[in-house]
Amino acid sequence: MAELTRVVFLPHDEICPEGAVVEVEPGTSILDAALSEGIVIEHACEKSCACTTCHVIVREGFDSLEESDELEDDLLDKAWGLEPESRLSCQAFVADEELVVEIPRYTINQVSEKH
């Protein structure tokens, strides 16, 4: 059996006030790791890399992730609270190094936009 990798989700006031730790097989997306633990990170495009609602910040272990592609980078440019360690959780796949993940306070869907 493959070694599992630990993903630590930092506390988030609404989504997971206590935070959570989940162990998943390498190759699992951060989003699927969260969902498996009952942490409902919004994913409006159903994991198709077409929105920014599943934006997370990888506080530890970022360098173990495969690099983001151009499409993900273009979408991340539109994410609320973008940081250098930001990723779309549907596109970032757990490797063999523990991750510490912060779920931003807002997503673009929750911030009122001016048209």
**Cβ atoms of 56 and 12 closer than 8 Å:** no
Q: Which CATH architecture has domain 5-102?
A: Roll (3.10)
Give the span between the Cα atoms of 8 and 5, in whole angstroms: 10
SS (H, E, C) 13-65: CCCECCCEEEEECCCCEHHHHHHHCCCCCCCCCCCCCCCCCCEEEEEECHHHC
C-alpha distances (whole Å) from 41 to each of 1, 63, 70, 105 are 28, 22, 23, 11
Query: Tens digit of pLDDT for each residue in 58-96?
Result: 999 999 999 999 999 999 999 989 999 999 999 999 999
pTM of the complete model: 0.91
Query: Are the C-beta atoms of 76 and 88 separated by less than 8 Å?
Result: yes
Domain limits of the chain? Answer: 5-102
Signed CA dihedral, 2, 57, 21, 71: sign only: negative
pLDDT digit string (tens) for 14-49?
A: 999 999 999 999 999 999 999 999 999 999 999 999
Instruction: Identify the bridge partners of residue 23 per DSSP, sorted by sequence position.
Output: 6
Q: Which amino acid is at 17?
A: P
